[in-house]
């Protein structure tokens, strides 16, 4: 799903996702508008995440991942690039945050690194 189409079309896609067991909903960043909440999502996968901790928290809030009910999030990025450095900086910012995260970081080359609940390191 992207930023094109009407609100009605977007609503229909979200409704179909919510009622279909095992469904996957792929959303690109320009889709993000007010009111785009997906509480039926069991987890999120962020590819090339933003660098600001509060922006990532806002993105995860769309799936209702909260401090009280943290949902798993998978972070995908390219190893050995500037993206790798940005993700390490993001991890450091998350470690100092009051938010709770449940992440699995994957650079596509090494084994995915799951974290303890609430640990962004």
Structure tokens at 86: 């940005």
What's the whole-model pTM score?
0.72
List, for residues 42-74, the tens digit of each pLDDT value.
888 888 778 888 888 888 888 887 777 888 888
**pLDDT tens for each residue of 15-38:** 898 899 988 888 876 666 666 788
Residues 49 and 91 placed together within one structural domain of the fold: yes
Residues 67 and 16 in one domain: no
Its domain, for residue 88, covers 41-121
In the chain, how many domains are there?
2
């Amino acid at each position: 799903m992207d930023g094109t189409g009407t609100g009605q079309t977007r609503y229909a896609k979200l409704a179909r996702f919510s009622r279909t067991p095992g469904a996957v909903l792929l959303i690109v960043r320009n889709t993000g508008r007010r009111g785009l909440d997906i509480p039926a999502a069991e987890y999120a996968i962020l590819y090339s995440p933003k660098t600001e901790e509060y922006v990532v928290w806002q993105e995860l809030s769309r799936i209702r991942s909260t401090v009280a009910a943290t949902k798993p999030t998978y972070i995908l990025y390219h190893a050995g690039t500037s993206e790798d450095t940005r993700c390490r900086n993001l991890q450091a910012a998350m470690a100092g945050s009051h938010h709770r995260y449940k992440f699995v970081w994957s650079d596509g080359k090494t084994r995915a690194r799951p974290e303890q609940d609430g640990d962004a390191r």
